Structure 1
Amino acid sequence: MALKITDECINCDVCEPVCPNQAISMGPEFYVIDPARCTECVGHFDEPQCAMLCPVACIPKDPAHVEDAQGLMQKYLRLTSQPV
């Protein structure tokens, strides 16, 4: 499942540079995560870097974008142009 950034975001700029998939960008009011690019860091790290470093813990899993580990790995392979 992709992650999302809630409106508790303080725009501290910690999450965006650590995202290996460039899934995080500035939205109209606070940072947002593109669910088409978010793999929860599967293929890169053991845990989501943005959530791990967020000082206000405002990056939960997004129930609107449910994916299992296999789906996240397939997305990672697609994003990195590796054969699935």
Structure 2
Amino acid sequence: MAIMITEECINCGACEPECPNTAIYEGGVEWRWADGTALEQVELEDGTVIDAHEPQPPLSDEFYYIVSGKCTECMGFHEEPQCAAVCPVDCCVEDPDYEETEEELLAKKAWLHGE
């Protein structure tokens, strides 16, 4: 599963620098597929191809958020999700809407980083 940040987030920012995929953003901040990755283009689910450097709208305006398409649960980098390990209020939890196997997460890591 990807990790998500719940509404209990206190906006401390401890999680953001810990993410090896740059999948965590401050509320209200635009995100990019290319941030922290080797991606130049991304094919969306509907088949549209976009420039990975193109800004995407924030997923939350109120608190930090995780882009599930970039989250690998730190698989291949660490033994556990680092955002959850450093969160002082335990609001970094598994996202039930994005269930992925270990193999899928490692494949996503390889895709993100051009491996």
TM-score bin, normalised by smaller chain: over 0.9
Q: In structure 2, what is the equivalent of residue 30 of structure 1? A: 63
1:15 corresponding residue in structure 2: 15
Equivalent residue of 1:4, what SS? strand
Stretches of 4+ aligned residues off by more than 2 angstroms? none
Following TM superposition, by how much is the alpha carbon of 1:43 offset from its aligned partner in structure 2, in angstroms? 1.0
Residue of structure 2 in register with 1:71 after alignment:
104
Once the two structures are TM-superposed, the CA of residue 6 in structure 1 deviates from its matched residue by: 0.2
Tell me the CA shift for residue 77 of structure 1. 0.5
In 2, distance between residues paired with 1:56 and 1:77?
31
Tell me which protein shows more strand as a share of its residues: 2
TM-score w.r.t. the length of structure 2 is 0.70
CA RMSD of aligned residues (A): 0.5
The structure number with the bigger radius of gyration is 2
- State the secondary structure of the residue aligned to 1:71: helix
- Which consecutive residues of structure 2, in runs of 5 or more, have no partner in the other structure? 28-60
Structure 1 stretches lacking a partner, 5+ long: none
The Cα shift of 1:73 comes to: 0.3
How many pairs were matched up?
82
Q: How far, CA to CA, are the matches of 2:70 and 2:76 in structure 1?
A: 13
Note the alpha carbon deviations across 1:39-66, whole angstroms, 9 max, x for none: 0000111100000010000011000001
Matching residue of 2:86 = 53
Shift of 1:78: 0.5
Instruction: State the TM-score, normalized to the length of structure 1.
Output: 0.96
Q: Report deviation, 1:26.
A: 1.3
Aligned AA (2:3): L
